[in-house]
Amino acid sequence: MQQRNVARELGLVVASIAVLVHWLDPSPALLATVLVAATAAAATAPLVGEWRPWRMPLIPMVFPALAAFSIAGIARVLSPMPWLALDFLLGWAVLAWAFSLETAPDVLMATEDPAASADGAVAAGMAAAPAVRRRPKRRAEYGLAQIIADPVIVNTPELMPHPRPLAVRFTGLGLAFLGFVAAGALVPGGLALVRESLNSTQLAEFVALNAMVAGGVGYRLASLTSPYRSDRIVRIVATGQYVVAVAVAAAFLRTLGLPRLFVPALLMLVAYMVTAVRESQDPLKENYPLLQELAMLGLAAVTVIVWGMLAR
C-alpha cells in the first residue's frame, strides 16, 4: 500500500510539471519534455530503494519516461480548459500505473527472491552453482604463477522476468500510441488536420521522435523474453528493429497528410506487428496463423489510409 501511495505522489508531481510545457515555445518545449521524461525515469529508482538512478537497469525506467513524455507532448496541442485539465488527470493515472507496474511488491519480491519467481527455469538457473574462472596471479615470494579461482555467476538477469507480462505488453502498446501522438504534437504541423507539408528539418524531427518512442517500447517489450545481462545485445537489436520499422512508416505516412490521430494509430499498428513477428515461436514462413493475422492487419491499415486520404 505504501508503494502505491508513493507511486501516486510521484505521478502527481511529474504530471503537474509536464502540463506546463503547454505554455512554452516549440524548441524549449521539446527540451523541457525530454527533461521531464528523464526526471520520471530517475524517479523510479527511489521506489526500489536505489538512490543512484545510474545504477538502476534501464528496463523499469522506460514506461515512466514514456508516460511523462506523452503527457508533456500532448499538452502542447490542447486548450487550457477543459482538455489540459483532462490531460493532467489522465496523465497522473497513467504515470501512477507505470510506476506501480514496474515497482509493485510482487515485482520487487521476485527480484529479491529468485526462488519465488514464476519462471522455474530462471529460478533453477539462479540457484545453480556458479561457474569458476581461473586466472594466474604472481606469488610475491617466488615470482611464480599461482592459479586463483573466482566464482562467476553466468547469465544473471538485470531484473527477474516480470510476473505480469500481459500487462506490460498492453501498457507498452498504449504508451506507444500516446507517445506517437506526443511526437506529432511536439513538431509544428506534425498532427495535420489537412494536407500540410513539413520542411526537411521538421520531418526529420517528426521521424526521430517517433523512432525514439518506438525504440523505448521495443526495448521494454524485448526484455520480457530477454531479461539477462548477456541478452543486452538482443534488446539493442530489437530496439533497432522497432526504430527502423516505425521511422520508415512515419516518414511515409506523414507525407500523405492523414488527419490527426490516423498516423499515431497506424504507427502503433506497426509496433504491434513488429512485436508479433519478434515473439513468434515458429519461423515466420511456417506460422500460418500469424501470417493470416498480419495480412488482415495490413488490409485494415490500407483501408484506414484510403479512408484518411478521402477524409482530408
Q: What is the DSSP letter of 80?
A: I
Residues 6+ apart with CB under 8 A from 25: none
pTM, to two decimals: 0.82
Grid cell, residue 115, equals 526462488
H or E stretch covering 131: strand 131-138
Grid cell, residue 289, equals 496463423
In Å, how far are 84, 87, 102, 268, 307 from 257, measured between CA atoms? 25, 25, 37, 17, 12
3-state secondary structure of 135: strand
Exposure of 278 by Cβ count < 10 A (0-12 exposed, 13-18 middle, 19+ buried)?
Answer: middle
> 143's torsion region: left (phi>0), alpha (psi -120 to 50) or beta?
left
- In angstroms, the CA 119 to CA 101 distance is 18
Please tell me the total number of residues recorded for the chain in this structure. 312
pLDDT along the chain (312 residues), means of 10: 77 92 90 94 85 84 95 90 90 93 75 44 44 55 57 57 90 96 91 72 94 96 85 91 96 86 94 93 85 94 89 68
CA-nearest of 156, 172, 176, 174 to 164 is: 172
pLDDT at site 50: 77
pLDDT at site 134: 54
- In angstroms, the CA 237 to CA 43 distance is 27
- In angstroms, the CA 254 to CA 238 distance is 24
H or E stretch covering 68: helix 62-75
Amino acid at 170: F
Q: What is the DSSP letter of 222?
A: H
pLDDT at site 205: 94
Residue carrying C-alpha cell 500516446: 178
pLDDT at site 189: 83
pLDDT at site 148: 57
